[in-house]
Amino acid sequence: MMDRQAAETLLQTAVGNPNAHFRSGQWEAIDALVNHRRKLMVVQRTGWGKSSVYFISTRILRDRGAGLTVIISPLLALMRNQIEAANRLGIRAETINSTALPQMEWVDYRNPL
């Protein structure tokens, strides 16, 4: 079982702040995922810390031998921050997004050439 204090230490590492503490509901989500193996979808406003919940849970589960975690994020700026936080936790994280695609000639199917 992962306890709140150990998980909060991971939060502090992830955000790079030794004084960081969980927001209301974050520990409960992590506990549900890692200690009770529940399926979970967290719906909160931007900036609440959903990525921290997922990355901390991932770190704990990987330490227990689990595998891949997929996180879908709609904002490129958030993806960069998420990758940095994952790296601080020792999680190898990659991003797939439109900026990584080679420049392509896009076809407007409404007005074919």
Span 35-58, average pLDDT: 91
Q: What is the mean pLDDT of residues 57-72?
A: 89
- Buried b or exposed e, range 41-60, using 16+ CB within 10 angstroms: ebeeeeeebbbbbbbbbbbb
The more confidently predicted of residues 64 and 97 is 64
pTM score of the predicted model: 0.76
The model's pLDDT over 67-83, given as tens digits with 9 standing for 90+, comes to: 888 877 777 777 788 88
For residues 44, 23, 41, 16, the Cα torsion angle rounded to the nearest 10 degrees is: 100
Whole-number pLDDT of residue 108: 63
pLDDT above 60 for 113: no
Residue 51: closest CA among 17, 15, 16, 24:
15
Residue 112 pLDDT level (bands cut at 50, 70, 90): low
Task: Please report which confidence band the pLDDT of residue 64 belongs to, taking 50, 70 and 90 as the band edges.
Answer: very high
Confidence of residue 101 (pLDDT cuts 50, 70, 90): low
Task: Find out whether 59 and 89 touch, Cβ atoms under 8 Å.
Answer: yes
